[in-house]
Structure 1
Amino acid sequence: MTAHSGPASVGHPDDERERTRRSYDTVAAEYHARLADELTDKPVDRALLAALLELAVPGTPVADLGCGPGHVTDWLSGRGVPAVGIDLSPQMVAVARHAYPGAEFREGDLLRLPAADGEFGAAVALYSVIHLAPDELRPALAEACRALRPGAPLLVAVHLGSEVRHLNEWWGHPVDVDFRFLAAETLLGALDDAGFAVQARLERTSYPHEVETRRLYVLARRV
């Protein structure tokens, strides 16, 4: 996410998802070129992902929900677990498949995951639910719950706050996408409603190379 912003767009949720899909299609190649190695400079993220893998149901695939160009999926796959990246953007999925042939990637919506009931033994959603409309957050988390095995962990990361940041330009490309910041109580309540028990939460400031926001990570377990 860049620092360029303007007024938030308002419209039907389906229209907003289509705007989001087109925007990420537009920046897919450059997103990968710029951020493929970002976990190298994110020690907290790596530690939380490692904890997620320790808590995962043994012998089951791990889902990366809203995987973008697939670098987090690849990191998970490199730790010896079958990893499945799922993203709304066909171009992001295409970039990920080309860059990381060792992992599996699927095109799909957070509200209608292309996954069987209980298919995954763990899941991560790093800054992907921030593109959902407020009334879509709980259904998306309930859908993640459906795709997870009982007891499986879910790691969610969001930007903290109440702002809706709109981008109409991203790295020089025209886009039309909203980033919704979330209050901690909103995310925690939605997780509880969707069938998760919160195990841990962590807040951090942004790293120097990131957009300046405060970030919240929540580790929860499917009940």
Structure 2
Amino acid sequence: MTQTSSHLCATAHAYDAVAVRYAELARNELDALPLDRAVLAALSELVLTTDAGPVAELGCGPERVTAHLRDLGLEVFGVDMSPVMIDLAREAYPDLRFEVVSMDALNLADRKLNGIVSWYSVIHTPPQNMPSYFAEFRRVLAPGGHLLIAFFESEGEPVTAFDHKVAAAYRWPIDDLAGLAGEAGFVEVGRMLREPHEGERNRRGHLLMRVGK
């Protein structure tokens, strides 16, 4: 087993173990996060101005963001490496499509998607592997397609590992993450930083990008 596949399997197993409790805690969290909802709404509005394919939520977990995007009018499906998370998502939303797939090796044709949302899922990616993830996102997005990434921001520090409650994770400087996306062919549309709410430990970063020419 390679180091990369070992990391992915370890992360999936860790989320399998906490999936039921995680789903309970996360189910209504967007209700109290108006800025997060605004970023998702911006992505949805941009996607709806074109007609180039569906949107994928990568690392979807138990369903909350995928369902929210559907409610915003998008044709959307979710993928995750955790089979238990996918089972919970399918049970909660049988009308939506969910698949057990790794987001760094999507079983999709080139230029298939109109949008990608990675909502706190790339946080578990070792920094040296991040360029390959952006390359895969770029491969499956149609020209002009949009990418939204939510992550933990490092607050002036370099890329930093931190004690995530489920699996190894990293906080990123927003400029560094935007730079890697740019190297993969993405153009920044906008960004949003927000300070942690009560009960949160880290600043939250959001990058909205589109495929460049």
Residue 188 of structure 1 and its aligned partner are, at CA, apart by 1.0
- Which consecutive residues of structure 1, in runs of 5 or more, have no partner in the other structure? 1-10
- 3-state SS of 2:168 partner: strand
- What does 1:26-175 align with in structure 2 at a 5 Å threshold? 26-56=17-47, 57-58=50-51, 60-161=53-154, 162-167=159-164, 170=165
TM-superposition CA deviations, 1:27-53 (whole Å, max 9, x none): 111111111111111111111111101
Residue 151 of structure 1 and its aligned partner are, at CA, apart by 0.4
Residue 59 of structure 1 and its aligned partner are, at CA, apart by 6.2
- 3-state SS of 1:22 partner: helix
Shift >4 Å, 4+ stretches: none
The whole-number CA distance in structure 1 between the counterparts of 2:82 and 2:46 is: 29
The whole-number CA distance in structure 2 between the counterparts of 1:115 and 1:70 is: 20
Residue 60 of structure 1 and its aligned partner are, at CA, apart by 2.6
> What TM-score results when the alignment is normalised by the length of structure 1?
0.87
How many residues were matched structurally? 205
- 3-state SS of 1:93 partner: helix
The whole-number CA distance in structure 1 between the counterparts of 2:24 and 2:109 is: 32
The whole-number CA distance in structure 2 between the counterparts of 1:91 and 1:131 is: 18
| 1:221 match | 210
The whole-number CA distance in structure 2 between the counterparts of 1:71 and 1:54 is: 19
The whole-number CA distance in structure 2 between the counterparts of 1:194 and 1:205 is: 28
Q: 1:46 to 1:154 in 2, by over 3 A?
A: same
1:23 partnered with 2:14: yes
**In 2, are the aligned partners of 1:200 and 1:218 still within 8 Å (CA)?**
yes
- Which consecutive residues of structure 2, in runs of 5 or more, have no partner in the other structure? none
- Tell me the amino acid that sits aligned with residue 151 of structure 1: G
Residue 185 of structure 1 and its aligned partner are, at CA, apart by 2.5
The whole-number CA distance in structure 2 between the counterparts of 1:166 and 1:16 is: 16
CA-atom RMSD in angstroms: 1.6
